[in-house]
Chains A and B, each alone.
Chain A
């Protein structure tokens, strides 16, 4: 099972190059929130995407294109890049697996505001209600690139993107599909921003995952899409292979709805399962892209889980969280960080975590704090979410 196309959209920019250049030097992409009012909230910044007015060239009608939500537009940019890179053609059945937490939240929030009016607005509301639904973004992608097939929308909170890629991998590995389009996305939403703010989980200073003085996460938005296919299919087409997903683990943390087990029990199980299924020992892993949200509880729990899973390897295992650069993309984070792992494997560098000054003593591993080149054959990516959703993906460089 190999990856033949990757598309990415974050606050660092649109596309592989803009993002690779940003992640490689640990650029921070946060700025004051402009999409909705945050003046009455503790946190005021997020990593917003600069979305161009234009859309990539697809089969979508002008009418549909005008109605796309911010989430759909980001997803389409990412999908278009992956599709073009893979060289796939329209037609036929192609499973689509997407992870999200908010679907088309911008449209849903607007619907709600208008429905609350003393004289409720009717015009445009049916479209808003449809555009809010997750399956609409999936249909937009299917229509844009001209395929049909089963749609699986995974809403496993912040692990959604990784679960989507892991599920897609299994579809190919088990022979249920020769090719699968998969990824994750989420646009910034007022509900999520206010929700994390209400939990006092948003940083009011700088998002600094694994820093001893960290004070919370920063929200971002974006999307990433991968084209997965069997090796036979890729070779038959003469496709350029970007890398492999060689392992996938998933575990459920029953500790609390919104807090991880203090010792990261499910995180450990998830990493252990991904490695066991790949037949890979921690000694072979050259880089860990941690979930690393920057909250006190998450990072402490994940650090302990990585220490336990890596054992002696932890002493010199490079770890970083790229959420300090582009924020927490919720349903999009697992897919975006999968593309970051591919960048690491393809271009052989390690993405530093910006703003980390004093690593948390709980980290038995070295945090990547400065840009540097490195030889990495295998990279691991963690994604953990509310509800105890834990997922780990393992990637291997394609020679």
Chain B
């Protein structure tokens, strides 16, 4: 049986551009004992971004993410939610947005990225970090697969373009329209990396990232590719926040991306293995989320010491109910990225997997169950384990 290993990971979140700020934010926003020890070690020296930062401007909403150095500081900044407003001005929504990268990454000068939407930038940044964090991985672009999972893709450009269409379709910008296509981020990634092979963009609720993992694993098992980048991504805009507000009033919408680099080889230890992905338990017909979440839970191993649960709870009781019930007996360590960072849809699902991998590579957990109870399609879970030497 072919084994699949998670060789690298990358992230972009409201906490900043990189896995490190994501982990710091998770530790600050929600108890994260399993990751804390790992992050603390890396924080001993201030990051370059932190050194360059004006110590007095930590309340500016567009902070360089890497500047988050301590739990206390993150909590202060976290209080500064951004506000998204509908054009009518009558409705306002809380949002956690990705800060402007400081310094601006050189790769943003690539011709394909000059007009690219934020989501494309998030996705490529996470992908590049995933590749860079996998030393020893030989990346043959002709044998590289890319699968993305998203809920709304480049909703900012879509909103802007459709707004122009409603104003006057004769003057709607031809520059914007191609960027509204759902596979635009994957296309930019492929162009940047020179990937000429398999490249899929999947769309669904928060579980699209897991479905993308399934597809990536299939390609690896079937030897259609040797390496596969799986990226979860979404961006925040007022129409999305408005829609979410109908179901969970006041829940902050969020944005970013997360990426995993999958291969058939374990690489340098500690190697993290994608041990299983549960069946997808659909919310079809009269089925509600509760039985689907329970069924997903029952396909993952029972709790044992040293294991971690990374769940998809967002802080909205009605939305979280099914998952809360499914894992009611879990007493071990638990991470809930959305509680700290907001409802980042497929990006937040990817953060779950990135956080799980981080906990295993730093030795604070030996296995992690990842639970994703999607909003309106399905519940699906996965499990990471440290590979035996």
Is A15 located at the chain interface by the 8 A CB criterion? Answer: no
- Whether B107 is near chain A, meaning CB under 8 Å from some CB there, is no
Q: Is there contact, CB below 8 Å, between A150 and B280?
A: yes
What A residues does B280 contact at CB under 8 A? 149-151
Minimal Cβ-Cβ distance residue in B for A190 = B165
Q: In the bound complex, what is the Cα–Cα distance between A151 and B194 (angstroms)?
A: 29
- Bound: A194/B161 CA distance, A: 9
How many Å lie between the Cα of A266 and that of B166 in the bound state?
A: 36
Residues of A within 8 A of B88 (CB): 116-120
User: In whole angstroms, how far apart are the Cα atoms of A155 and B150 in the complex?
Assistant: 10
User: Does A109 belong to the interface (CB within 8 Å)?
Assistant: yes
A32 contacts B by Cβ under 8 Å: no
C-alpha spacing A254/B159, complex, angstroms? 26
Complexed CA–CA distance, A253 and B214 (Å): 24
Does B53 touch A at the CB level, under 8 Å?
no
Given contact pairs A118-B88, A163-B200, A170 touches B218 in the complex (Cβ within 8 A): yes
Q: B192: shortest Cβ distance to chain A, in Å? A: 9
Contact of A157 with B183 in the complex, beta carbons under 8 Å: yes
Please name the residue on chain A nearest to B374 by beta carbon.
A135
For B196-223 the 0/1 string (1 means CB < 8 A from A) is 1111111111001001001100100010
Let me know if B200 and A156 touch, CB within 8 A.
Answer: yes
A120 to B179, CA, bound (A): 28
CB neighbours of A199 from chain B (8 A): 174, 177-178
**Known: A136-B376, A254-B191. Contact between A157 and B181, CB under 8 A?**
yes
Specify the chain A residue showing the minimal Cβ separation from B177: A195
**Nearest A residue to B153, CB-CB:** A155
Asked whether A254 lies within 8 Å of B195 as measured between CB atoms, the reply is: yes
- A-contact bits for B17-43, CB 8 A (1 contact / 0 none): 000000000000000000000000000
Interface string of A33-45 (1 = CB under 8 A from B): 0000010111000
Query: Given A116-B86, A387-B186 in contact, is the A103-B285 Cβ separation under 8 Å?
Result: no
Q: Kindly provide the distance from the CB of B277 to the nearest chain A CB, expressed in whole angstroms.
A: 10
CB neighbours (8 Å) of A116 from chain B are 86-88, 163, 166
Q: Distance (Å) between the CB of B203 and the closest chain A CB?
A: 5
Q: Are B214 and A150 in contact (CB under 8 A)?
A: yes
Report yes or no: A387 in contact with B247, Cβ–Cβ below 8 A: no
Beta-carbon contact of B282 and A157 below 8 Å: no
**9 smallest A-B Cβ distances: which pairs?**
A387-B187, A195-B177, A155-B182, A129-B243, A135-B377, A258-B178, A387-B183, A150-B280, A254-B191
B residues lining the A interface (CB < 8 Å): 86-88, 90-91, 112, 146, 151, 153, 158-159, 161-163, 165-166, 168-170, 172-174, 177-184, 186-188, 190-191, 194-205, 208, 211, 214-215, 218, 222, 239, 242-243, 246-247, 279-285, 287, 376-378
Q: A148-B287, A250-B198, A257-B191 are in contact. List 15 more A-B contacts (CB 8 A).
A: A115-B239, A118-B88, A125-B243, A126-B246, A142-B282, A153-B204, A167-B215, A190-B169, A250-B197, A251-B197, A385-B181, A386-B187, A388-B187, A388-B190, A388-B191
